[in-house]
Amino acid sequence: MTGPPILRAQGVHKTFRSRDRSGRRHETAALRGVDLEVPLGGSLAVVGESGSGKSTLARILVGLDAPDSGTVHLDGVDFPASTGATRRALQRQIQMIFQDPYRSLNPRMSVRSALRFAHHAEQPGADADEACRTMMQLVRLPESYLDRRPHSLSGGERQRVNIARALIARPNVVVADEAVSALDRSVQADILNLLADLRRELRLTLVYITHDVHTVSAVCEDVLVLHQGLVVERGRAATVMADPTADYTRALVAAAPTVDRPLVTVRPTSPPVAGVPS
């Protein structure tokens, strides 16, 4: 632990109810009493296979969905129960980087508009253009990209814009929900390195949701393993990934495909050249 917890979830339950074509009710327990705690400036990876409840947990943490029971405290305040100005202040504190870079930016908006929009929502009246330029430098994109629209950007560039959009609000906590899973392997490494650097530079608290166990140690200090909505293992990322104790974690690590070289060695040497997809 590097400080007091800024994000704490206790006993979070979430069940989805649906009906099939014949009208029969179905219930899917996505989260079954999940606890987690992330200190200010800390980083926690939430790992599990598809359907383990990772994305549901991410949506609850950022306030997109409400838990059926349990609490989520952000900076000591019950986030799901908050309303009005308190809730808006909390929403400013936690931002999400979405999974799909192709669907997470409004196709009608230029990069500048998307960033200004996010900036204005958080800090009305402040110098949005200056903030936009700063963000582009931060995510290592040329300023000229501010006038581009999403369809003229590559997947990696779009995800950098997504990161910039999340950071322009100056949040304390960033939740990255499978932020690199839709990208090529080499681009994944770029984005993960960028996230790790930004976390250090901005002293961000990061919740990194992923199914890719190989990337966990490179990005986060702590890890929490989810299986069918239950936490089956938690601890220091390096320790858990090297020597998992739960059978499920062992199976997850064993089943993960390996890469030829460590991700941390792949780093961009200079900002991308305008017009050339990274």
Partner 1 sequence: MTRYVGSRLLALLPILLGVAAVSFSLVHIMPGDPLDSLMDPQSTQAERDAFAAALGLTGSLPEQFFTWLGRVAGGDLGRSIAFRQPVLSMVVGALQNTLLLAGAAAVFGLLVGSVLGTLAAVHRGRALDRGVTGLSLIGLSIPSFWLGMILVALFGVTWQLLPVSGIGSGSGTDLLSHLVLPTLAVSAPVIGLTTRMVRTHVAEILEGQHVEFLRANGMGRARLLLQVWRNALPNVLTIFGLELGNLLGGSALVEIVFSWPGVGQLVYQAVTQRDIPVIQASLLLVGLLYVVINLAVDVGQTLLDPRRRSQVVST
81 forms part of the interface with partner 1 (CB under 8 A) = no
Cα dihedral 152, 156, 158, 159, rounded to 10, equals 180
Among the listed ranges 2-10, 58-66, 124-132, 189-197, the one in contact with partner 1 (CB under 8 A) is: 58-66
At closest approach, how far in Å is the CB of 192 from partner 1? 20
Selected from 49, 75, 100, 143, the binder of partner 1 by CB under 8 A is 100
Question: Quick one: 113 or 134, whose CB is closer to partner 1?
Answer: 113
Classify 10 in phi/psi space as left (phi over 0), alpha (psi -120 to 50) or beta.
beta
For residues 102-161, which are near partner 1 according to CB under 8 A?
103-108, 110, 114, 118, 121-122, 149, 151-152
119 vs 37: CA distance, rounded Å: 28
Selected from 64, 126, 242, 274, the binder of partner 1 by CB under 8 A is 64
CA distances from 245 to 187, 224, 231 (A): 32, 12, 13
Number of CB atoms found within 10 A of residue 213's CB: 22
Per-residue interface string for the shown chain with partner 1, residues 37-56, x marking contact by CB under 8 A: --------------------
Q: Contact at 8 Å (CB) between 52 and 228? A: yes
131 vs 167: CA distance, rounded Å: 10
Q: Contact at 8 Å (CB) between 241 and 253? A: yes
75 forms part of the interface with partner 1 (CB under 8 A) = no
Question: Quick one: 91 or 188, whose CB is closer to partner 1?
Answer: 91
Residues that bind partner 1 (CB under 8 A): 62-64, 87-88, 91-92, 95-96, 98-100, 103-108, 110, 114, 118, 121-122, 149, 151-152, 165, 169
